[in-house]
Amino acid sequence: MGLKQVKTGVLKGASYGVALLLGGCGVMGSGPKMLRDRRPEYNAAVVSSEERQLLENLVRLRYCDNITSLDIASLSHSGLFSMDGKGELDSGFLSDLSHIDKKIKATLGGSMNGASSMNLTPPSGGDYIKKYLTPIQFSAVSALIQGGWSVDRVFNLCVERVNDLYNATEADGPTPEKVPSYKPFQAFTRILNEADDNRLLEFGSKPDYNFSGMYLYLNEPKLEERIRRASVETKSYYSGLKARIRELKQLAGLSEKASLFKLNDDFVADKGASSLVIQCRTLLGIMFYLSQNVDVPQEHKDRGLVGVTQDVAGEEFDWSDVCKYFSVQCSKYRPKNAYVSCRYRGQYFYIADDDRESKMTFMLVMQLRKLQTSNYKSNTPLLLLN
């Protein structure tokens, strides 16, 4: 290699090194950039951990194992990345190219400083009772329906009894041995849901009516008006809906002539043909209810690790008929299509990503969980069916 080529190469290398050294002091990962990059990551991590925690607790209840939950009280993060550099260049290096390898000295340094802190709090004492053992307020149930959730889904999940209609109340604890009563209750909620789909079910205050509780108002004259104005094709449907509303009253033991029914929770003092006595589930009862439809390996059933409900013929009862909007699958291997999953007792339990019904119910339980830990209060509305 000639002297000119060596000199040119040295000059290029020196220029690159000097440029690097001159720009060597910088700070990255702070301010708006950190907010943009880190906040979505933390948000996704918090949501994922809460979902996995809830799913694992449902699986634990299926096995009658104790559960707990850790709430994130606070989460903070600070981070700083810095780079600095310095170099020394002998000004006489060009005059003695035989020693150029010894004439250039450069040092680069970098450091990253960061800190994350997270406070987790388990519920205890009064917090545990409020969160898990206090029944869901019916005002919260009505608010969820007003917020767009279907009557059928909310009632089947949150309400365990209306008058003498029982919604698998035995499912609010460990897996029962016998099939619970639930079909008349589901027929009742299907009719309410149909009325809501037809915009006949409304929540609100009844004008000029002084009340201290909540009421269910059935305004059938509006339905009669629809029947009178309906075409030949739709008149049959609306007439059938009118008959189903009468069936709703019969199922709940209500007077067919009455239209205003008081809602309360006293099954002894307030029962009658003009009252709807409603008992809501606790959050723990809801979780037990959903855990009944967690699939488990046959081997675990044979070993007695989980309870098995049997019908009158001695056959295993299918809980999907009760928990029709929720199911958890299990697999020996890690599922590829899981929305959320957890590993427990050597199995993967998961909700499939394409199981939209289960995902919606799972989301609803997450909302109820937050409601139970808040100081939610609501004015007592009327339930209008008109």
Whether residue 339 has pLDDT greater than 70: yes
Do the beta carbons of residue 100 and residue 82 sit within 8 Å? no
Confidence of residue 69 (pLDDT cuts 50, 70, 90): confident
pLDDT at 29: 52
Parent domain of 56 = 3-121
Per cent of the chain over pLDDT 90 is: 47
Question: Is 126 within a domain?
Answer: no
Q: What is the mean pLDDT of residues 211-216?
A: 66
Confidence of residue 75 (pLDDT cuts 50, 70, 90): low
Helix axes 283-291, 32-62, angle to 10 degrees: 70
Whether residue 12 has pLDDT greater than 80: no
Nearest-Å Rg of the Cα atoms of the chain is 33
Cα 234 from Cα 193, distance rounded (Å)? 19
Per cent of the chain over pLDDT 70 is: 70
Query: Cα 263–146–289 angle (5° rounding)?
Result: 70
**Pick from 189, 196, 136: which is nearest to 166 by CA?**
189
Lowest-pLDDT range of 93-102, 303-312, 325-334, 342-351: 93-102
User: Which runs of consecutive H residues, i.e. helices, occur in the chain?
Assistant: 3-22, 32-62, 100-103, 126-128, 138-146, 151-158, 183-197, 220-229, 232-251, 283-291, 298-302, 356-372
Q: What is the mean pLDDT of residues 8-35?
A: 50
Of the ranges 41-50, 75-84, 179-188, 256-265, which is most confident? 179-188
Say yes or no: 190 and 307 in one domain.
Answer: yes
Say yes or no: 191 and 111 in one domain.
Answer: no
Say yes or no: 164 and 107 in one domain.
Answer: no
Confidence of residue 175 (pLDDT cuts 50, 70, 90): very high
pLDDT at 160: 96
Bridging pattern class, strands 382-385 and 201-204: antiparallel
Say yes or no: 95 and 196 in one domain.
Answer: no
Confidence of residue 18 (pLDDT cuts 50, 70, 90): very low
User: Which runs of consecutive H residues, i.e. helices, occur in 177-262?
Assistant: 183-197, 220-229, 232-251
Cα 215 from Cα 233, distance rounded (Å)? 34
Mean pLDDT rounded to a whole number for the chain: 80
pLDDT at 133: 87
Say yes or no: 270 and 208 in one domain.
Answer: yes
Say yes or no: 103 and 173 in one domain.
Answer: no
Q: Beta-carbon neighbour count of residue 292 at 10 Å?
A: 25
pLDDT at 112: 53
Say yes or no: 114 and 136 in one domain.
Answer: no
pLDDT at 39: 72
Whether residue 203 has pLDDT greater than 70: no
Distance set, CA 221 to CA 218, 225, 245, 274, 358 (Å): 9, 6, 12, 19, 37
Answer with the one of 121, 145, 167 that is the final residue of a domain.
121
Question: Is 114 within a domain?
Answer: yes
Bridging pattern class, strands 338-344 and 382-385: unpaired
Lowest-pLDDT range of 82-86, 311-315, 320-324: 82-86
* Phi, psi of 159, deg, nearest 5: -105, 130
Q: What is the mean pLDDT of residues 16-40?
A: 55
pLDDT at 344: 97
Cα 107 from Cα 84, distance rounded (Å)? 9
pLDDT at 7: 47
Do the beta carbons of residue 61 and residue 291 sit within 8 Å? yes
Question: Is 146 within a domain?
Answer: yes
pLDDT at 313: 94
Query: Cα 107–108–114 angle (5° rounding)?
Result: 145
Say yes or no: 114 and 177 in one domain.
Answer: no
**Assigned token pair, 275:** 């009252």
DSSP 139: H
Q: What is the mean pLDDT of residues 42-63?
A: 90
- Dmax over CA atoms of the chain, in Å, equals 113
pLDDT in tens, 225-272: 999 999 988 999 999 999 999 999 999 999 988 877 888 888 887 777
DSSP notation for 84-131: EEEEEE-TTGGG-GGGHHHHEEEEEEEEEEEEEEEEEE---THHHIII
Instruction: Indicate the number of domains in the chain.
Output: 2
Confidence of residue 193 (pLDDT cuts 50, 70, 90): very high
Say yes or no: 54 and 176 in one domain.
Answer: no
Contacts of 163 (CB under 8 A, 6+ apart): 252, 253, 254, 271, 275, 276, 277
pLDDT at 41: 79
Answer with the one of 72, 100, 121 that is the final residue of a domain.
121
pLDDT at 28: 46
Question: Is 127 within a domain?
Answer: no
Answer with the one of 121, 142, 162 that is the final residue of a domain.
121
pLDDT at 250: 95
Say yes or no: 36 and 148 in one domain.
Answer: no
Q: What is the mean pLDDT of residues 93-109?
A: 50
Question: Is 375 within a domain?
Answer: yes
Say yes or no: 176 and 104 in one domain.
Answer: no
Output the CA torsion sign for 84, 31, 35, 42: positive
Say yes or no: 161 and 207 in one domain.
Answer: yes
* Phi, psi of 219, deg, nearest 5: -105, 85
